[in-house]
Structure 1
């Protein structure tokens, strides 16, 4: 498994309702996506960083998703380019089934 942290940062605060709307509008294509285990849309406490966290089955699927076209698209949606970090998941706890 591999995690991907996608961070959008701007000097002004993101509007929470805007981030919630983005999450609602964009969730559909991710539901049932091959290779994607989880995706979360988040906003930090200060409201200046919107972060999306993905958990993928493998690195190849994760890296192949983040094409230039996808990066350009999300830059347009969030208004700032993302910082994309790939994280080796060395342990994982999933309580969703309990």
Structure 2
């Protein structure tokens, strides 16, 4: 498994309701996406950074998703270019089935 942390840093602050709308509108394409275990849409405490966290089954699928076209698209959606970090998941707890 591999995690991907995508961070958008605002010049001011992100509006929570706008990010909730973005999350709602973008949820559909990720549901059932092959290789994607989960995706979360997050906002940090001070509102300066929006973060998306992905957990993928394998690195190849994760890296293949983040094309130049995707980066360009999300830059337009969030109004800031993303910082994309690939993280090796060395342990995982999933309580969703309990």
TM-score band, normalised by shorter chain: over 0.9
- 1:82 lines up with 2:82 in the alignment: yes
SS of structure 2 residue aligned to 1:5: strand
Please list the CA deviations of residues 29-52 of structure 1 after superposition, one character each: whole Å capped at 9, or x if unmatched: 000000000000000000000000
Which residue matches 1:32? 32
> Can you give the 5+ residue segments of structure 2 that lack an aligned partner in the other structure?
none
- How many residue pairs get aligned? The number is 98
Give the whole-Å Cα distance in 2 for the aligned partners of 1:77 and 1:52: 13
In the aligned structure 1, how far is the partner of 2:11 from the partner of 2:72? 20
What is the SS of the residue equivalent to 2:55? strand
Q: What does residue 66 of structure 2 align with?
A: 66
CA RMSD of aligned residues (A): 0.4
Partner of 1:4: 4
Task: Structure 1 unaligned segments of length 5 or more: list them.
Answer: none
